[in-house]
Amino acid sequence: MEIREIRENKKQFLPLLLAADEQEDMIDRYLDRGTLYVLDDGGVKCECVVTDEGGGVLEIKNIATAPEWQGHGYGKAMLDFVAAAYRGRYSILQVGTGDSPLTIPFYEKCGFTRSHRIRNFFTDHYDHPIYEAGVQLVDMIYLQKKIGNEETSKQPAGRTGQKSSE
């Protein structure tokens, strides 16, 4: 199994990316500015695009495993690779997904926790209704996982976000 970065001709990987984000113009919004990784294990099994969102946040914009290889650990292997590759350079790895029983439990099992939601994201930004597991996706659910090393993920003393007693 090998995971490698793709720097040129990213569009050749569009068919699998469309399995996770089914509208090409939405993929076009992040593919060029993002970093594309492919997991090859006797053929491409999984693809992932990540983007720098600023403020120490790295976002998974797209992760897709070929349908016949889902449930074989390739998606988790990709997430683990991304977290390890960017540990220490970013403090948070986040992903936005539909409120689906197929995706939310997967990310939670991989150590992500719910962060926030963007209401009506799918109905406002896609030109057609998107269904997953028979449910129409409406809101974008964001999940996050801390990936900073111990030194970078700890806040300096006195910066806990709590009001001081001055």
CATH number of domain containing 47? 3.40.630.30
Nearest to 60, CA basis, from 149, 148, 141: 141
Task: Answer yes or no: is 51 within a domain.
Answer: yes
Task: Answer yes or no: is 59 within a domain.
Answer: yes
Task: Answer yes or no: is 157 within a domain.
Answer: no
Q: For the whole model, what pTM was predicted?
A: 0.86
State the residue range of the domain holding 103: 2-147
Is the torsion defined by CA of 83, 94, 44, 75 positive or negative?
positive
Q: Number of structural domains, the chain?
A: 1
Task: Answer yes or no: is 165 within a domain.
Answer: no
Task: Answer yes or no: is 85 within a domain.
Answer: yes
How far from the centroid of its chain's Cα atoms is residue 80's Cα? Answer: 12
Cβ-Cβ contacts under 8 Å for 150 (sequence gap 6 or more): none
Task: Answer yes or no: is 159 within a domain.
Answer: no
Digit-by-digit pLDDT tens for the chain (166 residues) are 999 999 999 999 999 999 999 999 999 999 999 999 999 999 999 999 999 999 999 999 999 999 999 999 999 999 999 999 999 999 999 999 999 988 999 999 999 999 999 999 999 999 999 999 899 999 999 999 999 874 433 333 333 333 323 2
